[in-house]
């Protein structure tokens, strides 16, 4: 019963469908085989095919009446031995690749049931090839032979099947259509999982239109160019060797040879000397009408000898004639010799220049061989010509000094070109692949990717100097160690007039460093403002820039620095938001080639002396450019409390609470790390303990000193862990309603904490390190560090918020946006726009909770009226 | 022979006289009356065939083509008959015979009209590919390999929607006295590839006047701005369809030669 079933003839759609159903069962078993089992089968099958190469070759020639037995023996030998050799050690089952460090693993799985269409030109070798690569990949294969070659194709497949089964493969893992028809070929294609279609354009189109993934190949029309620099003997004999191979039936075989004028006669003589027959003009005409009928290839000449084709055309040639050569001029498709001939008939063209030869070859490829193969004989020192040839040929194989029949199939004349009897023609030929098809095309690769955490960093200026009175000492380095010659000071007019630049200038003078000062930085500096400074900077050509002031002066100086170093820098590119600063599209220009950058803060503060951020406004275009890149990090920060004693009360209060917000946001950021946590926590404590005093008594040196350090520490924290939506909301509040940045932060702070602390947020932030919503715990850690402890985290959070509220009150910050004179109607008129912009703010990305725009709107609304923060119930 | 004939909505009795016969074939007899051409099919001719021809012609009329309109279909004495309007004028074939010195002009006319016809979108008609597939499938005498190649070739063709006459030869074009034209006999019309339609014309002409056929093909290619190969690739397919209708051994030999081609690989 089993045997009977096995040999049931497939001659109808029903029989075929039944066979394919059986094959699917067999394949399901095959899919469980180990690499070892598969390799054993692969070896046995290849061995059997190899041993049967002569009888199979004889059978193919006998059945099809095409080609040469001896050459078909080589093809069979190649299909067995070379394919086995190429893949003997290739992993095709289970885990084929693993990198535990990156947590990535690749697992090979079979595709399933492969449909194979086998052409008449290579009926046994292609069958062997396709069967072997399917066995190696644990796929079942159903073969649709050509009616003209069905017996030999089936014999080859059966032989491989028997050997495979004997070696342990499931019964029926290879099968075929016994009585081929288009209907059955279509069924095979439609019902398979993938199609290996070898054949002409019609077959390839049919494969692609079946709706199944297809590895189809198309027609070739290989043009050869023999350059003046070529080794003529080698070239001519390689072409003859290739063109006569199996009577010219390999699709990669040469169809035309274009010879440079200066060597034409010599090439012609060599062809003639080696037994090729040059057709006389009237003979050319006769052969034309014989090889091509109405633009199509005469089936009767395919794979026939030169002598036989000549006889069909009524031309007498010696029986030993190897190739019929027609010396023709037109490369147009109307010239019969310009077509693919699948026989030992060759067109020969003359070219006056290499360029003309390229034109001809390009046209020949376009007319009949898009994507297939092109060939060039040349001295390989002629790099430019070779590059031009490779550039012009729209073919997926470009062979140099190589017989194209044997060369194109790979591993014979070049050992890195994959051996294959299915040659991809790329999109040029309407194919899905452009390489020589192999086992990797017949597996599904499953990639197992384990969660990995990003590398993080902690970046600060190379030098951060601090302590009251440290500035002149720190500046000393500019002269004594760095030998700077020209210093450019950037500050605002208040500080300049107040004499704050004086100690710097004195120090520079004492070291003989020439200096100048741009003292016109405006609050919230504009691009125009920065450009004015840049112009002055360019004229002065400093080798050190010293920024003195609050955030505005330091930011403006950073912008001038960028423009000074990179006059062509584009702000809109630099200001482009990023998801991950390491993966941003825009690559910042390298800084520091012209000038060293020193930042000296006079407020506490923005922390800009240690951050990679700068904000500049283009008031003409109405665009605010927030720039962020570590190239903007100052080289030296000098935190000297002597520069901070003159801060007015309002500034102390606003910038002080800004410091607190920096520290808190950096601590709960999804990018927070042990490195940023330390500075952030310390900053919160310094602010809690010293800001009220610094506010109440500006002359208190200790409080000012601690606040200076807090500002710088918080700056380091958020320079690396970044911020969150507190800042997103504050930025837009400032932009729309002109509220000082620090105050704006304070107005939304308590609501944002409540919002972020939710244990069931609508959405959480995306970052591998951020594993689950844990902002509540993080806020409590800050609280605990500051000595606040409730009976549980919720109470601790309540107490922490109360302490922050007390701090705000202590430094004179009001409870609501309304109290800062923001008109209610105007506020709500602009609210939607403000929410969308806040959502889109660069700071939003690092927030532990990914906000909905509607949620931001609720926060703004509560903050406007100064509502109880406990109303944040969303 | 007489029967009830409906013309312009009026029922009338009309007698078909032997003297009105203009063509007699095994399967049909064609009469000409004052304003109609009446094709009477032999007994046993399928009813579906007659109505289908009427339907095709009705579709063609609906596109706005200058066609001889179908008037009615009727069973007369057990034989199905179809009437189309009579177009006074001279066929292009006749013009070519009468005034061969104006051949270039006639050929231009042929191509121009064909391109005009091809310019219509033929929704509703059967697709050329399906019609040819059926023809090829019926060629059971052909060797399986050739049949397979032909089917594969056809299967690779794109499905277009242009109006194809299916037998666009000079004898089916009538030049009217007012200088206009009408195209008759739409029974083979399909929607499809204009190249296929031109291939049929080229083949028909090749069987009688190969030199003229070549001229036609070049002219068609130039005027339609398409490559000759676009038409040529259909030749094995249309030749296969014609094989059974070949009248002489030479015709058979020519068609067989056309069919015996291999696909490029």
First to last CA, chain B: 60
- pLDDT tens-place string over residues A794-817: 999 999 999 999 999 999 999 999
The answer to whether A337 and A284 are in contact (CB under 8 A) is yes
Sheet holding B173-176, edge to edge: B89-91, B173-176, B181-183
Chain B residues in contact with A302 (beta carbon < 8 A)? 262
Q: How far is A264 from chain B (nearest CA, A)?
A: 29
Across chain B, mean pLDDT equals: 91
Cβ neighbours for A169, distance < 8 A, ≥ 6 positions apart: A30, A41, A45, A135, A161
- pLDDT tens-place string over residues A121-144: 999 999 999 999 999 999 999 999
Cβ neighbours for A543, distance < 8 A, ≥ 6 positions apart: A484, A485, A486, A487, A594, A595, A596
Q: Which residues of A507-522 are buried (b: 16+ CB within 10 A; e: fewer)?
A: bbeebebebebbbbbe
Chain B residues in contact with A121 (beta carbon < 8 A)? 265
The CA distance from A501 to A547, in Å, is 10
The reply to whether B210 touches chain A by the CB within 8 Å rule is no
**Burial group, residue A368, by CB count within 10 angstroms (0-12, 13-18, 19+):** buried
A182 to B151: CB separation less than 8 angstroms, yes or no:
yes
- pLDDT tens-place string over residues A226-277: 999 999 999 999 999 999 999 999 999 999 999 999 999 999 999 999 999 9
Chain A residues in contact with B148 (beta carbon < 8 A)? 146-148, 180-182
Chain B residue with Cα closest to A197: B265
**């993966």: which residue's tokens?**
A583
Listed in order, strand segments (DSSP E) in A312-454 are 324-327, 345-351, 371-377, 395-400, 443-449
B264 to A186: CB separation less than 8 angstroms, yes or no:
no
Structure tokens at A251: 């699709």
Check residue B8 and give its pLDDT: 45
The reply to whether B227 touches chain A by the CB within 8 Å rule is yes
Please state the ipTM of this predicted complex: 0.84
The reply to whether B152 touches chain A by the CB within 8 Å rule is yes
A219 to B228: CB separation less than 8 angstroms, yes or no:
no
Check residue A5 and give its pLDDT: 45
B261 to A296: CB separation less than 8 angstroms, yes or no:
yes
In DSSP terms, A325 is beta-bridged to: A278, A346
Check residue B265 and give its pLDDT: 76
Q: How far is A298 from chain B (nearest CA, A)?
A: 4
Check residue A7 and give its pLDDT: 61
Q: How far is B40 from chain A (nearest CA, A)?
A: 38
The answer to whether A333 and A339 are in contact (CB under 8 A) is yes
Across chain A, mean pLDDT equals: 95
Place A12 in a pLDDT band, splitting at 50, 70 and 90. very high
Higher per-residue pLDDT: B181 or A580: B181
What number of other Cβ atoms are within 10 A of residue A599's Cβ? 29
- Tabulate helix, strand, coil % of chain A (nearest 5): 50, 15, 35
As a whole number, mean pLDDT of residues A202-231 equals 88
Chain B residues in contact with A429 (beta carbon < 8 A)? none
Structure tokens at A168: 């342990």
- pLDDT tens-place string over residues B187-207: 999 999 999 999 999 999 999
- pLDDT tens-place string over residues A598-646: 999 999 989 999 999 998 888 887 777 889 999 999 999 999 999 999 8
Question: Is the pLDDT score of B11 beyond 50?
Answer: no
Helix (H) or strand (E) holding A139: none
Chain A residue with Cα closest to B133: A182
Chain A residues in contact with B255 (beta carbon < 8 A)? none
Structure tokens at A760: 């069931």
Question: Is the pLDDT score of A2 beyond 50?
Answer: no
The CA distance from A276 to A410, in Å, is 26
Place B27 in a pLDDT band, splitting at 50, 70 and 90. confident
Q: How far is A294 from chain B (nearest CA, A)?
A: 6
Query: How many contacts (CB atoms, under 8 Å) link A and B?
Result: 98
The CA distance from B122 to B138, in Å, is 26
B261 to A339: CB separation less than 8 angstroms, yes or no:
no
Interface probe with B: pick from A209, A296, A332, A405, most Cβ of B within 10 Å: A296
Question: Is the pLDDT score of B140 beyond 90?
Answer: no
- pLDDT tens-place string over residues A314-359: 999 999 999 999 999 999 988 999 999 999 999 999 999 999 999 9
- Cα–chain center distance at A705: 49
The reply to whether B153 touches chain A by the CB within 8 Å rule is yes
Question: Which positions of A are catalytic?
Answer: 251
The reply to whether B101 touches chain A by the CB within 8 Å rule is no
Check residue A666 and give its pLDDT: 98
**Burial group, residue B127, by CB count within 10 angstroms (0-12, 13-18, 19+):** middle
A340 to B264: CB separation less than 8 angstroms, yes or no:
yes
Q: How far is B260 from chain A (nearest CA, A)?
A: 6
The CA distance from A33 to A42, in Å, is 12
pTM of the model: 0.86
- pLDDT tens-place string over residues A264-309: 999 999 999 999 999 999 999 999 999 999 999 999 999 999 999 9
């Amino acid at each position: 019963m089993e045997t009977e079933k096995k040999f049931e003839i497939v001659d109808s759609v029903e029989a075929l469908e039944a066979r394919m159903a059986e094959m699917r069962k067999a394949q399901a078993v095959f899919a469980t085989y180990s690499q070892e089992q598969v390799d054993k089968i692969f070896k046995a099958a290849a061995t059997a095919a190899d041993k049967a190469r002569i009888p199979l070759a004889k059978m193919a020639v006998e059945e099809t009446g095409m080609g040469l037995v001896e050459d078909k023996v080589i093809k069979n030998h190649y299909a067995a031995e070379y394919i086995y050799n190429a893949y003997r050690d290739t992993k095709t089952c289970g885990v084929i690749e693993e990198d535990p460090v990156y947590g990535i693993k690749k697992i090979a799985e079979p595709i399933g049931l492969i449909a194979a269409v086998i052409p008449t030109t290579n009926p046994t070798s292609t069958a062997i090839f396709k069967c072997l690569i399917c066995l190696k990949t644990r796929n079942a294969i159903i073969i649709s032979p050509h009616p003209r070659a069905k017996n030999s194709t089936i014999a080859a497949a059966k032989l491989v099947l028997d050997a495979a089964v004997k070696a342990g493969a499931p019964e029926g893992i290879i099968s075929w259509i016994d009585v081929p028809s288009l209907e059955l070929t279509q069924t095979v294609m439609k019902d398979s999982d993938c199609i290996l279609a070898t054949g002409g354009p019609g077959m390839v189109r049919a494969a692609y239109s079946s709706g199944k993934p297809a590895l189809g190949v198309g027609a070739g029309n290989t043009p050869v160019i023999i350059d003046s620099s070529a080794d003529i003997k080698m070239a001519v004999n390689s072409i003859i060797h290739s063109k006569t191979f199996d009577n010219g039936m390999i699709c990669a075989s040469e169809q035309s040879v274009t010879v440079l004028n200066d060597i034409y006669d010599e090439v012609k003589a060599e062809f003639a000397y080696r037994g090729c027959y040059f057709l006389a003009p009237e003979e050319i005409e006769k052969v034309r009408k014989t090889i091509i009928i109405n633009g199509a290839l005469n089936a009767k000449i395919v794979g026939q000898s030169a002598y036989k084709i000549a006889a069909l055309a009524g031309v007498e040639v010696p029986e030993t004639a190897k190739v019929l050569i027609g010396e023709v001029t037109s490369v147009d498709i109307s010239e019969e010799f310009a077509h693919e001939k699948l026989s030992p008939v060759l067109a020969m063209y003359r070219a006056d220049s290499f360029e003309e030869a390229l034109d001809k070859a390009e046209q020949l490829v376009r007319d009949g061989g898009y994507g297939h193969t092109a060939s060039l004989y040349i001295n390989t020192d002629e790099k430019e010509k070779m590059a031009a040839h490779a550039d012009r040929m729209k073919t997926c194989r470009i062979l140099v000094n190589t017989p194209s029949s044997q060369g194109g199939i790979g591993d014979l004349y070049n050992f890195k070109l994959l051996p294959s009897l299915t040659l991809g023609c790329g999109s040029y030929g309407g194919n899905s692949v452009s390489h020589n098809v192999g086992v990797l095309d017949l597996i599904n690769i499953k990639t197992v990717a384990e969660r990995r955490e990003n590398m993080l960093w902690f970046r600060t200026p190379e030098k951060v100097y601090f302590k009251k009175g440290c500035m002149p000492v720190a500046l000393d380095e500019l002269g004594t160690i760095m030998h700077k010659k020209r210093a450019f000071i950037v500050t605002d007019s208040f500080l300049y007039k107040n004499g704050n630049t004086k100690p710097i200038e004195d120090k520079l003078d004492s070291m003989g460093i020439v200096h100048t000062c741009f003292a016109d930085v405006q609050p919230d500096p504009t691009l125009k403002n920065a450009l004015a400074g840049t112009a002055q900077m360019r004229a002065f050509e400093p080798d050190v820039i010293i920024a003195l002031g609050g955030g505005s002066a330091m930011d403006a100086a950073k912008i001038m620095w960028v423009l000074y170093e990179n006059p062509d820098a584009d702000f809109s590119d630099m200001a482009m938001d990023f998801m991950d600063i390491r993966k941003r599209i825009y690559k910042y220009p390298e800084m520091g080639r012209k000038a060293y950058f020193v930042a000296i803060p006079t407020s506490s503060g923005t922390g800009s002396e240690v951050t990679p951020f700068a904000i500049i406004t283009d008031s003409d275009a109405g665009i605010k450019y927030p720039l962020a890149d570590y190239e903007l990090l100052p080289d030296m920060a000098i935190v000297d409390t002597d520069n901070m004693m003159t801060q007015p009360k309002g500034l102390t209060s606003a910038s002080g609470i800004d410091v607190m917000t920096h520290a808190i946001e950096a601590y709960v950021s999804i990018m927070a790390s042990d490195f940023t946590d330390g500075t952030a926590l310390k900053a919160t404590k310094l602010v809690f303990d010293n800001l009220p005093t610094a506010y109440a008594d500006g002359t208190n040196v200790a409080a000012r000193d601690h606040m200076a350090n807090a500002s710088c520490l918080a700056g380091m924290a958020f320079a690396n862990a970044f911020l969150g939506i507190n800042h997103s909301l504050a930025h837009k509040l400032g932009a729309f309603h002109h509220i000082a940045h620090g105050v704006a932060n304070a107005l939304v702070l308590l609501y944002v904490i409540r919002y972020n602390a939710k244990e069931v947020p609508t959405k959480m932030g995306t970052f591998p390190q951020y594993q689950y919503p844990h902002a509540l715990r993080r806020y409590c850690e800050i609280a605990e560090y500051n000595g606040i402890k409730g009976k549980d985290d919720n109470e601790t959070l309540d107490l922490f918020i109360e302490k922050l509220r007390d701090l705000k009150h202590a430094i004179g910050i009001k409870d609501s946006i309304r109290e800062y004179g923001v008109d209610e109607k105007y506020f709500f008129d602009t609210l939607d726009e403000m929410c969308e912009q806040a959502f889109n703010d660069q700071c939003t990305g690092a927030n532990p909770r990914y906000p909905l725009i509607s949620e931001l709107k609720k926060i703004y609304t509560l903050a406007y009226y100064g509502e109880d923060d406990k109303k944040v119930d969303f | 022979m007489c029967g009830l004939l409906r013309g312009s909505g009026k029922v009338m009795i009309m007698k078909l006289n032997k003297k009105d016969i203009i063509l007699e074939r095994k399967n049909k007899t064609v009469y000409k009356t004052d304003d109609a051409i009446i094709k009477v099919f032999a007994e046993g001719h399928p009813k579906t065939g007659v109505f289908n021809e009427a339907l095709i012609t009705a579709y063609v009329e609906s596109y706005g083509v200058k066609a001889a309109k179908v008037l009615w279909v009727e069973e007369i004495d057990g034989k199905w008959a179809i009437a189309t309007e009579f177009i006074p004028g001279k066929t292009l074939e006749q013009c070519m015979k009468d005034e061969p010195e104006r051949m270039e002009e006639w050929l231009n006319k042929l191509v121009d009209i064909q391109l005009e016809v091809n310019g219509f979108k033929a929704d509703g008609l059967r697709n050329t590919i399906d019609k040819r597939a059926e023809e090829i499938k019926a060629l059971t005498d052909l060797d399986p390999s050739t049949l397979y190649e032909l089917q594969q070739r056809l299967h690779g063709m794109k499905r277009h929607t242009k109006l194809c006459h299916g037998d666009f030869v000079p004898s089916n074009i009538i030049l009217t006295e007012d200088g206009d034209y009408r195209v008759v006999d739409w029974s083979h019309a399909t929607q499809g590839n204009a190249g296929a339609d031109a291939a049929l014309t080229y083949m028909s002409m090749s069987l009688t006047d190969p030199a003229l056929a070549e001229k036609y093909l070049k002219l068609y290619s130039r005027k339609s701005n398409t490559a000759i190969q676009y038409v040529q690739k259909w030749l094995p397919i249309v030749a296969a369809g014609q094989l059974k209708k070949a009248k002489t051994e030479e015709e058979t030999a020519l068609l067989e030669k056309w069919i015996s081609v291999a696909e490029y690989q």
